[in-house]
Chains A and B, each alone.
Chain A
Amino acid sequence: MIEFSGDFESEHAPEELWKYFTDPDILAQCAPGCDHIEQESESELSATIAVGVGSVKPTFDVDMTVVEADEPNHLVMEAGGDASRNSFEAVAEMTLTETEDGGTHAEWEADANVSGLIASLGQRALGSVADRLVNNFFDDLEELADEGVPAESKISAKPEATASLED
């Protein structure tokens, strides 16, 4: 099990950011290495994402399920992906809190089981790259919000879904 976590600050209020985090079109623009995202249902997304370290760059077919969506504070997603000789399962959780000046403080954490070639890179290498990718994602999302690109919340939690990750 590999654990990732981090946080970021936004000038936009949680209510406003929430729309960006739950709009598949926005996610597709910000997600690193993302080719496209399809919305399969109210709470399910599928995507093709190419991410890697160095020249090891598998393209994952990823399925995501929204497990909790407590607007505009708390979002939990479960994701799994397969690529040639690589796979992963992950649960990611994000909490948005309003700051004193009306902005947002977001804290995120994710637990992942990774197998295949990518796993051989080890936690340090993966953690280093994952941090960078997630920060890029938040930066890009903040930029879209700054530009006032319209976003619409299109996903909600799957009824009775729970997230868990076995070691």
Chain B
Amino acid sequence: MDNRRMRELEEMCIQEDPPFCQAACPLGMDGRGLCSDLAAGTVDKARAKVEEGLPLPLLLCCICDEPCKKACPKGRSGDPISMALLERYSLENGKAPRKRPSFLSPRTDRIALVGSGLAAMAALESLRAKRYLPQVYIPDGDLAARLREDDRLPRDLLDETLERLLEGLNVAAESPSLEKLSEFDGVVIADGSPLRYPGPTDDITFATEVTGLFSLPLPSDSPSTEARRGLEAVLSLERHLQGASLESERTKKADRNTRLRAPEDDTPSEAIVPSGGTYSSEEATAEAARCLTCQCLICHPWCLYLQEYGGSPRKYIRTYHNNLIINKGNRTANRMIDSCTLCGLCAEVCPTGLDVGQASLESRRKMVDTGHMPPSHHDYPLRDMASALEETDFLLDPTGGSPEWLFFPGCQLGASEPRWVTESYRYLTDRLESVALWVSCCGAPARWGGREALYMDVMDLWIDRWEELGRPKVVTACSTCHGLLKERLPEGTAVTLWETMDKLGLPEEGAISAETVTVSDPCTARDDRTAREAVRNLLRRRGLALEEHPRSGRTTECCGFGGLVFSANPDLAKRSAARRVQEAGHPMVVSCAMCRELYARTGHPTWHILELLLSPEGKAPSPRPFPGWSARRENRKKLKAEMTSGTTPKKPSESLVMDEELRQNLDDRWIIEEEILKVIEEAQSGGSRLRRKDSDVYLAYSVLGERTLWVEYSPEGDRWRIHDSYSHRMTIQEVTR
């Protein structure tokens, strides 16, 4: 991910766009922040915001035309937020921010300000804050001439303001000639002046053809616009004096836009009307509390991962990027990058379609390429993939090389329950002419882990084999395989088992009864409407009453298996699954073997659709628990052995005895019973082992791949009792004694 790509993705997130009130306010007042402060009762902070945001704050909020109100979504069904009243309340009730006295001497540039009215006053205030001492020309003699007609402005406030602004300045009640003005280093001609620059002026900088002369357009009847013009003119003048570019960065600021969408669930409410002339503390708090705190984060409620590390996806992408460009020091975001399930839900709900998963995947590839992918994050799933590709891969081809159909159930279905593969294969062979069965892996774990080259190798081998078979039509039983194969195979070549069954008829006739079931779609079927509908048809045809999961179809969520999160951040994956089952009103039915496993692991009754379709008529079978990672590996071996040689192999787990708590612990640590047995067998056939004094408890280890696996065991009859097992990745190098 290079800088440009990162910025492109980051820019797509509109979370940091201004709220509607701020976008509409010519002065860019942070109305959302003000409301939050007041609703939280932090009035001093609110006051600081107003003083920071507005020139001549008290004066302005007495007469502001409040363009923010037109934009505020509260106004759609009730009254918009009364921002000016809240500003005034803050100024009158908050403690004044402490101003540091400035010991810097005034600037010596010769500056002139001509005019009267709000723009001129705002300009003057700004000039004084920047330590300029302008010559002031007030043609009609009163800097506040037009404002005096506004009876909302208290007289003494106006007088005090004028006195403060003009203190110590040279003031002339006249209209100077343009020639006279040319003696100054910089000039601002504000409104209220009969003197007007005759030529064209720039809309944003107010620059004229005369260098250093800035002239404002005719007065508007919007006080907030007037005040803003005064400030902009001073900014131009200052840049002119510094020899800096007048335009840079200003066009973008000038059309202050927001891409935000108005919040949806907005209950109409009326504005709080001050019982006195201004708000009491209760009134202000109540009014501020009506604010909807407009911002995006539409994606947050949908995705636990996006909540997990807080803030906007914009921030996520920035963090990913920073993590990748680090030269020295720690990459603290490695786990964060590996914790997204790549499910694409965010892109589905985001108004701009930002796919955080895409950024996460691109970052993973970069981590792999630069050697910074932590080996432990994807260790287990990659080992499991290797086993599925090598140890338990098999092809059954009764046609001897030219099947019309190829059933590719994926690597996980048989791992969960071998019967689901054998019986659905029998179903297909009963109804279709020539069907081969190939049990293997599509390479998804490699792709999710950012190992794109490895993934491509797996896929290339897959395609080679498929071509050798004469390019049969492929029936898939896993939506991940299905999606990845669709990417590579000609259109229409890969079909799901569910569509196929929907066409060919139910495997078992007769209804099956269960209380209502909640249908949950796998995240990889998000774009596959046909498959999702076929699943529902089949279940209904089996007589089941269906209820939709509240997040289903295009907005379904991942179970925690996707993106290998179950391995890189097991805790987050468990919480995602838990949230999903909690939201299901009934036992769940899924059409993905891994969804089945991870939901069943939470203890929630969960069926794989095949289990309901393949069971005999009658009551639905009781949902199976999660078999555990060890048993899944054994199931795969059993499937292969039974299908290829007709024998049932002895399971390693049958040689081991351990209590349930330990079994659970080892499963959570990805310690597979087959590997435990390997360590014991090695130690027993002449390897090294330690022995607990005065007992027959042994401790031995083997280096298996990148891990060292330790097993504490003792004989029990013709089996082994396991007391503990653990692993580490550090290797014991040499004895330096």
Please say whether chains A and B are actual partners in one complex. no
Residues of B with Cβ closer than 8 Å to A? none
Give chain A's interface residues, CB within 8 Å of chain B.
none
